[in-house]
Amino acid sequence: MEPLSDKQRRVFDFIRQTIAERQTPPTRAEIAQALGFASANAAQAHLRTLARKGAIELSPNRSRSIRLIEDDTSASAAPLSLAVVGRVAAGEPILAVEHVERHCQIDAGLFLQAPDYLLRVTGDSMIDAGILDGDLLGVRRASDVRDGDIAVFRWDDEVTVKRLSRQGHIARLVAANPQYTDIVVDTRRETLVLEGLAVGVIRSL
């Protein structure tokens, strides 16, 4: 399979997640609605690109005619070796050597989207989203984030896990705990950096 762009990966991951949840692929209209495309034709254009790159197979005569080629080999995927990132110092790269507590191998099948690293969660601001203090949050690097996504952001030299709500140039980082107020960022005057999208949680029992 040829490498996918971030947008193509979002389409591919949505298809895979839909199939995993209901055992049938989404329609073009469902893809367009879920990913914010202007029309089903825009979704179809992405599907043709995915087919050309060898990620999926399409049948032209059916609305749900998508088969993931990757599924044929996913069961034998090699384990992922991921850095476990602890507390991040202000202004320093999140994967700086001094932030990495250790590396660990995990089963690639634990996540619908493969993470690039694991971030140790501190605090209870996201407990209503099922993200608890001490959890390891799987984080996938990305260049774009949608409203409603839970992601890792850098703001005011601090790294935080929050859900995004965006209105024009105002970005709200919303906690999943009513005891916390929103972080409101005016992107015209302040810098908000996306460090990655949350793709799952590992919890020690």
pLDDT tens for each residue of 33-58: 888 888 889 999 999 999 998 888 88
Tens digits of residue pLDDT in 73-126: 444 455 778 889 988 877 677 877 778 888 888 877 777 778 889 999 999 999
Catalytic residues: 125, 162
Q: Quote the CA–CA distance of 203 and 156 in Å, as a whole number.
A: 29
**CATH code, residues 6-73:** 1.10.10.10
Q: Quote the CA–CA distance of 4 and 143 in Å, as a whole number.
A: 13
Entry pTM: 0.63
b/e sequence 68-79, b meaning 16+ C-beta within 10 Å: beeeeeeeeeee
CATH 1.10.10.10 positions along the chain are 6-73
CATH 2.10.109.10 positions along the chain are 80-202
What's the whole-number mean pLDDT along residues 173-187?
A: 94
**Continuous segment of H or E residues that includes residue 40:** helix 40-52
Residue type present at position 134 = G
CATH top-level class of 80-202 = mainly beta
Tokens of 7: 């947008």
